[in-house]
Structures are given as C-alpha cells and as structure tokens.
Structure 1
Amino acid sequence: MANDGTPMVPFGAPDGPADAAVQRHWRMRAILSRTGDHTEKFLVQSGFDRGPWLAVAFAAGIGAWFLLAMPWQWIAGLVIALAAAVFSHAIWRGAEGRQHLRLAVGALGLAFALGLTTVWVRSEMVGAEPISRPMLMKLDARILERTEQPSEDRVRLVLAARDAEAGRAIRVRVNVPNDHDMPELREGARVELRARLMPPSPPLLPGAYDFARDAWFKGFAATGSLVGEVRVTEPAEANDGWLAGKQRDLSAHVRSRLSGAPGTIAAAFATGDRGGIAKADEEAMRDAGLTHLLSISGLHVSAVIAAAYFLAIKLLALWPWLALRARLPLLAAAAAAGVGIAYTLLTGAQVPTVRSCIGAVLVLGALALGREPLSLRMVAVAAGAVLVLWPESLVGPSFQMSFSAVIAIVALHNSQPVRDFLAPREEGWTRVMSRRVLMLFITGLVIEIALTPIVLFHFHRSGLYGAFANVFAIPLVTFLSMPLIALALFFDLVGAGAPFWWLAGKSLEILIAMAHFTSSQPGAVKLVPHMGLGIISLFVGGGLWLALWRGRARLLGLVPAAIGTIALVLSPVPDLLITRDGRNVGITNQDGHLFVLRGAPGSYSRTNIVELAGSEAEAMPIEEYPGARCSADFCSIGLSRGERDWSILVALNRQRIDERQLAAACELSDLVIADRWLPRSCKPKWAKIDGRFVAENGGTSVYLADERIDTVASAQGQHGWWKTDAEKY
C-alpha cells in the first residue's frame, strides 16, 4: 500500500489499455534505438564512404522509374524517399553518435529522389511520340546525322522532318543503300525522298532488346528505308557537320591504308567507327569476350591520355627554363586532358567514352595535385556526370558493363592483399614481370566475373574463355596495336607511315585470329534463358556491396551473389516462345531441343528465340516435334510438364477453316496459338494466344509447369514508348 492508502502497482505492469500502449511505444523505441546503435557502429567500422553510395542511390532512383509501372507509383517513390530524408534529420538531429546514420539515410533518400526526378524530366523533354502506323511517307527533311555502314552496304541518315498526317516535327532514321548514296548527303543538307517508315519496335519477346525505349530517348518517331531516289534540294554549308566529317575522313583514310578486316578494326580503334567490321569478325570478338576492345572506352581513352601525358612531360622537361619555373606534372596533365577531350569528341562522345574521359581527367587532376588517383570516388563522379546527362543509359548494357568493369578494377587494386602483392621489393625483373602477368590474369578474371551476369541478362550468351583471351589481347592492343596506329597516322603527315601500318596490320591479324580461335573452341559460348530482374538485382547488389565496403563486412556481398547464382541455375526454360506478331513460335522439349514454326536460320526472330530459349542445339521445324500430329493447317503437340500432360494446338497458316471444326479442336486443347484473330467460339481449356492477344500484350513466354504466362506488356507500364498494336492501329 502507498502512504495515501492506494494499492501499489508493480513497476512496468500495465494499468489499462493506455499504459499497455505506452509500454509498446517504449519497447518499439528501444528496439529502434538498439538498431540505430548497431547500424551506426557498422557504418563507422566498415568505412562508410558517402560519395560512391550517393551515386548508387541516384542510379537506384533512375532504375526505380523504369521498374515502376504507373505515374502514381513514381510519385509515391518520391514521397517515400523525401520523407525518409526529412524524418531521419528530425528523429536523429540531436542524437549523440548518430551522425553517420543521419547523413546516410538523409543523403541517400535525397539522391534517390533526385535520380527518379531526373529521368522522369528527361523522358518528358526528349521522348518522341511514334508515328501512328506503318506508312509510305514523302519527306522534305534536314540531315542531322550520317553513319556509314560498309559491312551492311548502306548509309544511315537521321532526318528532321514533318509528319504530314499529324502535322508535327519528327525525327526519323532512314537506311539508304550505298548505290543511292552521294557525297552531298551529309549533315546540314536538305533533301527530298520517299521512305517506308515504321514505328520503333517493342521487344520481340520478354527479355529481348527494347528498341522502342531506346528510340524514345533518342527522339526517333520512326525508322525505315529509302524508296526510290534521294534529291538534294539545299546543300550543306561548309561548317555543318565538320567534326563528323573529319571522323568519317579519318576512318576512310585508315581503311585505305589497311585493307580487309585489320583496316575495319583499326578504324574502330582510331575513330570508334564500327560500321565496316564484318559480322563474322564481330561475332567472333563477342564470343571470345573481346567486344569491349572494339568500343572506344576506358582502355582506349586511358591509353591515349597516358601516352599524351608521358610524351608531354618528357618534352617539357627538355626546356630547362620552364622546368625550373613551373610544375611540369600540372602542365602535362592539362595537355593530356586536352588530347583526351579531343579524342572523345572525335570518336562520337558515346557513354563509355565520356565516362572514361571524365575519369581520366580526374586521375590527371589527382596526379597533378599529388592525390590518390585510383579511387571509387572518381568512379562515382564519372557515373554521376553521365547519369545526369543521360539517365536512360543506366538500363543499357554499355553503361552497366563499362562501370562494372571499372568498379571491379578499382576495388580489386585498392584491396590490401593486392596492394601487398604489388608492393615494390628487392627482386629480379623476372619475378616482377611474373607477378604483373599474374595480376593481369587475375584482373581479367575478376572483370569477367563482374560482367558475366550483365552480359547474360542483356545478350543471353557469354564467352567462357574471355579471361584467358584478354590476358593476351589487352596488352596486344594497348602496347602494340594502338601505338602503332598512332605512329602510322603521325608519319602519314610526311608520307612515311607505311611501315607502321604494316606492323599494325600484323598485330590486328593476330587479334582477329585469336578471337576466331577462342570462339571456335568447344564450350566457348554458353546460352542461358532470360534472366529475371530479381536475379540480376541480386548480382548487382552483391557486387556493389563487395566493392564499396571495406574489411570483412564486404564479404556479406557474396551472399546475394551466391543466391543469384543458385537462382540462375534453377531458372526454368520457357516451354513456348511466341513473337510479338504471333508468326513465329518456339517450343522446347525436356531434352533442351528447340522446335520453331517459322524464320530462316540467322533471321532476327529465330536468333532471339534460340537465345531466349537457351538452346545450343540446331533448331528444327515444329512438325518434327516427337509425337506431333500435323495437318495442312494445324499441329497438335503433347507436352508433359509439372504433374500433368498438356495439349498444344498451333496454327500453321492463316487459311480459313470451318468454325465448328476449329471450336471442337480448341475444346480438346489446353493452349491454342495462332497469329490471326480466332473466333470467340474457340475456347481452349487454359489459354488462347492469338492475334488479339499478341496485339494487346506483345511477345509472350509460357511456363507450363508454373502455369505462368509472361508478356512484354507486363514489364512496360505507362511509359511513353509503350503502345500495344491495338492502340497503334
């Protein structure tokens, strides 16, 4: 009893609903407090570096905009991110020892919101509404860009024109055969022509290349081909397209000095012009894991800038007066930066080149100031600059592969074991060179591991021997081919470049032979079916965790990577693949063989079906499926999947048949597939994928064991570039 006679209540015991609610509140606060303490301790011990993580959060905001389907979801994402930033500051403003946590949550929330806003604004500003339907259009247009593609026997023109039907300005891309080309067709010229135009195409199948999205951000309302002749009504002015003209002239000069495949590869190294590379050579480079050598990226820009820096500092050192009065590293860095920027502009200023140029300029600045040149903060600044200018590049393979490789290299060489391994010591040159070669192989292997999930996600195939090929190819290109090309171009000024061109050609012949040899080995290429967003997110998240944290905490990144690997191995292969027009169908059996309805070998549709089915065996006609019963109009195929047998009815053509017979056949089938609109009387037991279905949903993948149908439409949402065929027409 209390002194006043009231009964004593044990401390902590609830005295009714209000006290119970208060206790729950305090317990929750205690849990949150302990969680905050543990998080703060982790951030301090693991070396939380805000710069790289801000770039990651900014990129995550961009990715969320692409992933989320509806505008209200984009707004909700903004509200949640901003609320997290505001509440973190309000809750932990006066908390002792919570500085890292408050800054982390607040800054990352703001960066996420900024990324989502940036890509949304970019889409609204540059997105081009596609033309309403395929049409033959007469164009009075101005040439904006010209791209020569000798390997395809054509020239590509980007034109500014007017849509006569909608009465609006449009940007279109038109292919012109070489026999209709003329020197007057260059940037700035005004032309009249007739072209067969198509709206930019959506993905052929779930997981295939999305040209419509790419065209949306490039401003293309249509693409097509020339019909008839081109007439130049107003020639280009002298200064129009000057830089692009110089790039083409340099490419033509290189190809004139080196004939055949070496000449086309040399032109790609010198100017970034890949239009002349034969398809067989490009495929060999891809399957050997050497495609990155053809794209002007970090390797090329770094080699050019490093050579310019070395040459500049050596030449400046020959002037004693200047050497005694100026910091030569600063002057050499400025000269090398100028060379790097010029090379970037000359090669077209593509995303990997811009990223590499920004990173190289930052490295030069660090060298000039005596700071650490190789850091993840440098990579974060370069990534942020690219994403601010081109946020849509985040979802493309070029950005992902470029930055994945650089992050892997920087994280590897900044790790303490590698620093210790490469530290100077008293030993012979043979041991030094052996250690460098071993480190080169390890670096190539780490890059291959980092890039493989991204390559499989975008291209559904990967070269398995890339790490081995790169050990020889990268030094060959960096220290032999590119310097020889540069020397050949320099000595061409006085007409003495022939010996250097001959040596450069021989080095490139070795590179091409290496690519063909590697790609032709058994098991050199691995095909996998479409990897879902969840799996690639596990790989990316795990890789970033491994790269950006320090100490033992970074090893936690192996957990999502391991889960992603298991999920990838266990990913089911689609049982049926139906293209966006319904005309091509692929069916896989339990032995991994693929059977297709239409499409010649090597055609775009068949290639996509083969890759997305992950089938390495030669595709066979659908009529040869074991047990198939085919007539002139339909094939009936039985499949055993899961715990049941499935009956599939596939239309072979568009011939009309008796509706009652069709209805009876549909009633006996679980799934009916046709490229024409089937009558409503056709009612299969499970699903009907006909012309109406694909017009509304696009390409389709069917997983019978899971009773699941994936469509292109399910991943598009209300983004501006997606319109169903039913909406178009």
Structure 2
Amino acid sequence: MATQGTPEIPMGEAVLTAHGAVQRPWPMHARLSSFGDLAERFLGRAGFDRAPWLAVAFAGGIGLWFALASPWQWAAAIGLALLAALAAAALWRGREDRANLLLAVVSIGLAVAAGSILVWARSAMVGAEAVPAPRFGQFEARILERIEQPAEQRVRLVIAARDADNGRAIKLRVNVPEAQDQPDLIEGTLVRMRARLMPPAPPLVPGAYDFARRAWFEGLAATGSTVGAIEVIEPQEGDGGVIASLQRSLSTHVRGQLGGASGSIAAAFASGDRGAIGEADETAMRDAGLTHLLSISGLHVSAVIAAVYFLSLKLLALWPWIALRVRVPLVAAAFGAVAGIGYTLLTGAEVPTVRSCIGAVLVLAALALGREPLSLRMVAVAAIVVLALWPESLVGPSFQMSFSAVIAIVALHNARPIRDFLAPREENWWRLASRRVAMLFLTGLVIEIALTPVVLFHFHRSGLYGAFANVLAIPLVTFVSMPLIALALALDVIGLGAPVWWLAGQSLDALLALARFTSAQPGAVKLVPQMGLVTILLFVAGSLWLALWRGRARLWGFAAVAVGIALLATTPTPDVLISRDGRDVGIAGEGERLLVLRDTESSYARDNLLEVSAMAGEPIPLARTPGARCSPDFCTVVLRRGGRNWNLLIARSRTMIEERALAAACDQADIVIADRFLPRSCQPRWLKADRTYLGREGGLALYLADQRIASVGQSQGEHGWWRPLQPRTFTRR
C-alpha cells in the first residue's frame, strides 16, 4: 500500500510507486501464467501425442492403487486427479494459447482416475478371500481347468468346491501326482478327493514373488496337494473344454513326434504348453536372455500372422477373378487376423499373447487401409485394451517385459537416423544383408537394455549376453523352427511329417545348444539385490520420456535413467533375511555363499533367499559355519556390520526352554529370531522377531549397517490379499 502523499501510477495489473517500486497484487497468478506459457511451448515443441500418454496415465492410476496403502488414500488420489482435470477445464477452456496444456491435464487427470477406479473395482469383484488357516479334509469338487506339468511329474487341477466352514463356493488349485492321475480328470468332471490346503503364500521375504496377490485376482482361496486316490463321481462327457482339449491334444501330439527337450520346446511353440520344459533348460534359456522365446508373445504371434497374411496375399493374387473384384490386401489381412486370434486362444490367451494379437491386428488394419503400421499409438491402444481387461497385469513381469520390448522396438525404428539407415537404396546383396544383420543386433541390444531393469526388479538376475544370443536365436526360431513345426503338423495329416519333424528337432537342439553355451560363459549372469521402487520408477519414467517425446526434449530421459543407475549401483544387500514363519533364515555377507539356518530340501525357500540376497551357489547351513555356535535348540552368531558387532540368537526347534535361561540369553543378544511365541521377559537390544512380530509384519530383510528393517507388510497396505496374523502396531521399542 502506498504511503500518504505518495502518488501511484497504474500499470495494468501492477502498481508503480513514485519511488520506482513495482507492486503486483497477483504475483501467484503471474507465476502460474508464466508456468503455463512454458508448459504450452514445451508441449508444442516436444510433440505431445495424446494416445501414448493416455496409456501411461491409465497405467499410472492403476499403479497408484497398488502403491498406496489404504482406501482413503486411493479415494484421495482419484479425487486429486479429477480435481486437476476440472481445474484445468475451468482455467483454460476456450483459450487457444492453452490448447495443448488443457488437453494434456484434462486427459491425463481423467485417465489416472479411471485407472485407479477400474483396478479398485476389479479387486472388489474378483478378489477371493483366502482360507484362514491350513487345513486337511475331504470334499467334492468340480474340475474347472487341467494343467499338465510332466517336467514336475504332476498334473495341476483348478477346482470349485464348497467351503466346509461357511458353505460358500471357493476356487482351489491342487497338485495331483502323476501316479494318481486319471484320463477322465478333465474340465467339468465332478470328483471327491482328500487334500492338504494352504492359504496362498505372501512373499517369503521383501522382494520375493507375491503369489497371494496373483491368487487374489485369479479368485483362488487356497492351494495344496491331493492325498490318495481321487474318486470320480460324475464324469464329463467328451473331452472337456474345446480349446483346452485341443491344446492338450496338440501338445501331446508334438511331444510324441519329437521327444526330449526339443519336443518340449516345440510343444510350447505350437500350443503354449510349457509344462514339459525341464528346469535346467528353462534356467539356461533365462540366463542366456532367450526365455522370451518360450513364452508365446509378439515374436510367435507376428510370425503366424505374417505367414498367413503373405501366403494369402500371394495365393489370392494368382486368382484373377478375385484380384479384379476385391481388395486382396484387405482379405489377406482378415485371414491373418483370424489366424492370430485362433493362435492366441489356442495357446492360452496370456497377457503377452493378447497384447501381441491386438497389436498385430491393428498393424493388419493399418496395412489394409494404407496407414503407418508401426506406431506408438498402436502400442498405446493395445496397452489400454489389456489393462482394461486385466488391470492387475500391470504389476506383473509379463506385461512390463512385453510392452517394454515393443515400445523399445517402435521408438527405435521410428527414429530418423534409423529410418535413414533402413531406407531402400541401390546396393549389393551383401551390403543389404549387412545392414539387416546390424539392425537386428542393434534391436536386440536396445531390447536387452530396456528389459534389464524390469528383469532385475522381478527376478534379481539378468543375462548379459542376450543381445548377442538373440541375433542368432530370433532368426532361427522365426524363419526355421516355427515354419518347420507348422509344416510338420500340416504333413502329419497325410502321415508325411516325420522328416520335417527331424529338421525341426535339429533347429531346436541348436537353440538349446546356443542357450547353454551363452549361459555358461564367465560373467553371463548379473545378480543384484532387491531394487527399490523409486529406482525402477526412475528407469521406467526415463525410458518412457525418451520414447514418447520428440526432439531434444527427450534427452532429459537420460537424466532419470542415470539417477536410476546410480541408485541401483548403491543398492545394499540385506544382511539377514527372515521368512514369515521364522523357520527360514539367510545371512549374507559372510563369504561368497549364503548361510542358512536349515539345510532344507525346499527349493522354494532356498531359491527365494538366494535371489533376494543376490548370491549364487549352494547355501551353507549355519551349524557348519566356524563362526557360529549351535545347540539342538538355538544358534548364536556374531556379525560385524556398521563398525559394531551384532549378536544374533536364532531358534532351531520348538522345545520348551526354561524362561529365566531364555531371558538371560535374550539380554545378551541384539536380535532374536524364533518361529514361536517368545515370552515378554525375552527383551533383546534391537529386535525380537518371534511369531507375534513376524505374523504382524511378514518376512523381514535386515540392513544392520543402516539399522533398518524392511518387512513384507510395509508394502502391502490394506489390500485384500494381505492378511496379517496379528494387528499391526507402530510403536518403537
């Protein structure tokens, strides 16, 4: 306000005093206007394309629901997204100088809200409450799905039964040993069985696989295994489901024509059935960066559709009557689309297959209409369709790896330098071949770079030589193995497929030899501890920024990726891992191999501890470690971390111990770990991880140098699949 006697000179919205000072009554409005100008100019220069960013925002809304802990937070996120859209519409509607900004804020706000609402609604509709505790009993059930797993010497049945406690219908998954299998255990059969059932398991330790979340969205209330023979009460007439029966028959036929490991892989290519692939072959393919070839996805669907499209195109062109009266590319595209949809249904309609089928059909439509077939808009439409049907797939490795690879391929091939490099020109055949091979290698390298953060986040290990192996493996599978399998199946109709099956087997043996050779090389596998959520989000955000913007603005994506790399390089390895039941304990950092409490034959617990600790080799039982002192009931070990000694007291049995002696031992320990309830008198100096604490928090990862505790419960919130055994408290001792 001006002082008395000081004249004011009006200057629009500002006020100029006699002393030259400028007073702005609306500084915040001015700053917002300036920010709006900058944002509008940026969106115009960087090429804001609404469709891809709508898909990103839709996925972001789904991801927010998983990341936030409680219903009030989910509702707040939805409300804020809608409020942002409404505010943008109120401020900038009708302003030509804010057209891009208005479009961006409104569409992204609505997409974020829609994603959160959709996944929340789906969780409420399909989520199945788990059985409260392990149980054993006899019940009648209807078989919903039969999954053959010869490599595991079992058959897996998905069944519908009646819960004995409350009478509600529940969906279960049980494993049947091969010795107890029967030919009439197919879809629709009513059976009586005895089985041991368990609630779906949450992550064993932080960063491990979350089966409980997957079971929630699949509607599974329990899993288990049958005991004794299964009685068929009401057999199903026929062969069960048409598609399931056809898939099983095709897989059995392929394995009958082509035995061994190559037959198992051929069955996976033909029908999507991976149940016969051995663990050693699966591991070799994964460590060589070739495991994507075993999952029916873009490569396989594209090969089938492309083969049918070009074959139909050539055959229809040979018929003048059709060629002169119909649009041959349109008819060929229709044949290709039908083939792709049929192959997708036959192979199980998994997320990568559905995504690939949708994308390939869109490409066919673009070709038939004379449009650009390879675009990020096509990828965005496929992503939105998949997420609309299965929003929970966003947090799984299948969706993330599938779309990461496709976005990398499309962004690479749409870059101007790559377009110039691939442009047709007059040259010798060997120059053309050299350019194609170089492009294949570059594409494989870019895919590996794009997939590595996702693979490390979910599996804690990644093959480093995948780009080199894929240069040979992708052409081998696309142009040799799959055409030979298709030709052999066609010739089997007239009984002449045997020679072609032999050739297909040789090509698949070559693929396996390549995988084993690559995975056996020194340094072929990179192991990392559990990557933080912030780290993987930096990688994802930086990669999307690079792919979706144009011009120099996209280079800012490298900054986010660089920060992600720095965080990944400094990610600490947990010193102690403790399972939810307290029976499995792993200690890292005491040599090159993991120390474990129990010399267990459970591959599930052992593999989870090894993966999260980023350690290889067979674990060493704690009782055989020179620095540990073990009795039949307890082990004690001293760890040097963070400049001090940490004394651990770990229970080995459930034998009753005199309370005074136990309390004295707890007083000398910093950390006590037990798979039982410990009395109040047991008071260690830092942490008492007994049955009460572990039941409330879940599995633990201890970082002793930082004095930090990470628990499974911290990342679960109030989602339906997480059920703490004890109420959570937030008091600190």
Q: TM-score, normalised by structure 2?
A: 0.96
What is residue 256 of structure 1 aligned with on the other side? 256
Distance 1:392 1:24 in 2: 50
Distance 2:227 2:638 in 1: 46
The AA in structure 1 aligned to 2:7 is: M
The AA in structure 1 aligned to 2:354 is: V
1:685 aligns with 2:685: yes
User: Residues 212-291 of structure 1: matches in 2 within 5 Å?
Assistant: 212-238=212-238, 240-291=240-291
What is residue 516 of structure 1 aligned with on the other side? 516
What is residue 702 of structure 1 aligned with on the other side? 702
Q: In the TM superposition, what whole-angstrom CA distance separates every residue of 1:589-613 from its partner, at most 9, and x where no partner exists?
A: 2655421111436721111111111
> Given the superposition, is the C-alpha separation of residues 174 and 617 from structure 1 closer, same or farther in structure 2, using an over 3 Å criterion?
closer
Q: What secondary structure does 1:637 align onto?
A: strand
What is residue 147 of structure 2 aligned with on the other side? 147
What is residue 359 of structure 1 aligned with on the other side? 359
> Given the superposition, is the C-alpha separation of residues 718 and 128 from structure 1 closer, same or farther in structure 2, using an over 3 Å criterion?
same
What is residue 535 of structure 2 aligned with on the other side? 535
Deviation at 1:7, TM superposition (A): 4.3
What fraction of aligned residue pairs are identical, expressed as a percent? Answer: 65
Q: What secondary structure does 2:183 align onto?
A: coil
Distance 1:518 1:421 in 2: 30
Distance 1:361 1:37 in 2: 40
What is residue 67 of structure 1 aligned with on the other side? 67
The AA in structure 2 aligned to 1:540 is: V
1:8 aligns with 2:2: no
| Structure 1: segments with no counterpart, 5+ residues | none
The AA in structure 1 aligned to 2:628 is: A
Q: In the TM superposition, what whole-angstrom CA distance separates every residue of 1:671-703 from its partner, at most 9, and x where no partner exists?
A: 111112111111111111111111111110001
The AA in structure 2 aligned to 1:607 is: D
What is residue 197 of structure 2 aligned with on the other side? 197
> Given the superposition, is the C-alpha separation of residues 317 and 265 from structure 1 closer, same or farther in structure 2, using an over 3 Å criterion?
same
1:648 aligns with 2:657: no
Deviation at 1:239, TM superposition (A): 7.2
What is residue 442 of structure 1 aligned with on the other side? 442
Deviation at 1:195, TM superposition (A): 1.3
Distance 1:602 1:283 in 2: 18
Deviation at 1:262, TM superposition (A): 0.7
What is residue 32 of structure 2 aligned with on the other side? 32
Does the CA contact (< 8 Å) of 2:15 and 2:24 recur in 1?
Answer: no
Does the CA contact (< 8 Å) of 2:172 and 2:221 recur in 1?
Answer: yes
User: Residues 711-726 of structure 1: matches in 2 within 5 Å?
Assistant: 711-726=711-726
Task: Answer with 650-659 or 293-302: which moved more.
Answer: 650-659
Distance 1:203 1:25 in 2: 56
What is residue 431 of structure 2 aligned with on the other side? 431
1:479 aligns with 2:496: no
Distance 1:172 1:14 in 2: 77
Task: Answer with 437-446 or 185-194: which moved more.
Answer: 185-194
What is residue 303 of structure 1 aligned with on the other side? 303
Q: What secondary structure does 2:450 align onto?
A: helix
Aligned residues: 720
Q: What secondary structure does 2:424 align onto?
A: coil
What is residue 595 of structure 1 aligned with on the other side? 595
Task: Answer with 419-428 or 380-389: which moved more.
Answer: 419-428
Task: Answer with 530-539 or 133-142: which moved more.
Answer: 133-142
What is residue 668 of structure 1 aligned with on the other side? 668
Q: In the TM superposition, what whole-angstrom CA distance separates every residue of 1:426-479 from its partner, at most 9, and x where no partner exists?
A: 110101101110110110011001001111111111111111111100000000
The AA in structure 1 aligned to 2:119 is: V
The Cα RMSD (Å) is 1.9
User: Residues 18-417 of structure 1: matches in 2 within 5 Å?
Assistant: 26-238=26-238, 240-417=240-417
Deviation at 1:725, TM superposition (A): 3.1
Deviation at 1:240, TM superposition (A): 3.9
The AA in structure 2 aligned to 1:169 is: A
Distance 1:587 1:481 in 2: 45
Distance 1:49 1:496 in 2: 53
Does the CA contact (< 8 Å) of 1:599 and 1:605 recur in 2?
Answer: no
Deviation at 1:92, TM superposition (A): 1.1
Q: What secondary structure does 2:62 align onto?
A: helix
Deviation at 1:625, TM superposition (A): 4.4
What is residue 659 of structure 2 aligned with on the other side? 659
Does the CA contact (< 8 Å) of 1:204 and 1:579 recur in 2?
Answer: yes
Distance 1:182 1:591 in 2: 49
The AA in structure 1 aligned to 2:89 is: H
The AA in structure 1 aligned to 2:399 is: F
Q: In the TM superposition, what whole-angstrom CA distance separates every residue of 1:292-341 from its partner, at most 9, and x where no partner exists?
A: 00010000000000000011011101110110111110010001101111
What is residue 560 of structure 2 aligned with on the other side? 560
Does the CA contact (< 8 Å) of 2:186 and 2:239 recur in 1?
Answer: no
Distance 1:541 1:253 in 2: 45
Does the CA contact (< 8 Å) of 1:599 and 1:606 recur in 2?
Answer: no
| Structure 2: segments with no counterpart, 5+ residues | 729-733
Deviation at 1:636, TM superposition (A): 2.5
Q: What secondary structure does 1:148 align onto?
A: strand
Distance 1:599 1:563 in 2: 40
Q: What secondary structure does 1:325 align onto?
A: coil
Does the CA contact (< 8 Å) of 1:61 and 1:114 recur in 2?
Answer: yes
Distance 1:544 1:432 in 2: 31
What is residue 419 of structure 1 aligned with on the other side? 419
Q: What secondary structure does 1:403 align onto?
A: helix
> Given the superposition, is the C-alpha separation of residues 25 and 412 from structure 1 closer, same or farther in structure 2, using an over 3 Å criterion?
farther
1:636 aligns with 2:636: yes
What is residue 620 of structure 2 aligned with on the other side? 620
Q: In the TM superposition, what whole-angstrom CA distance separates every residue of 1:618-674 from its partner, at most 9, and x where no partner exists?
A: 422223545333344333222222243222222232222222122112112211111
Distance 2:247 2:630 in 1: 56
Q: In the TM superposition, what whole-angstrom CA distance separates every residue of 1:249-295 from its partner, at most 9, and x where no partner exists?
A: 01010001001111100000000000011111111111111110001
> Given the superposition, is the C-alpha separation of residues 23 and 180 from structure 1 closer, same or farther in structure 2, using an over 3 Å criterion?
farther
Q: What secondary structure does 1:725 align onto?
A: coil
Distance 2:67 2:143 in 1: 35
Deviation at 1:381, TM superposition (A): 0.4
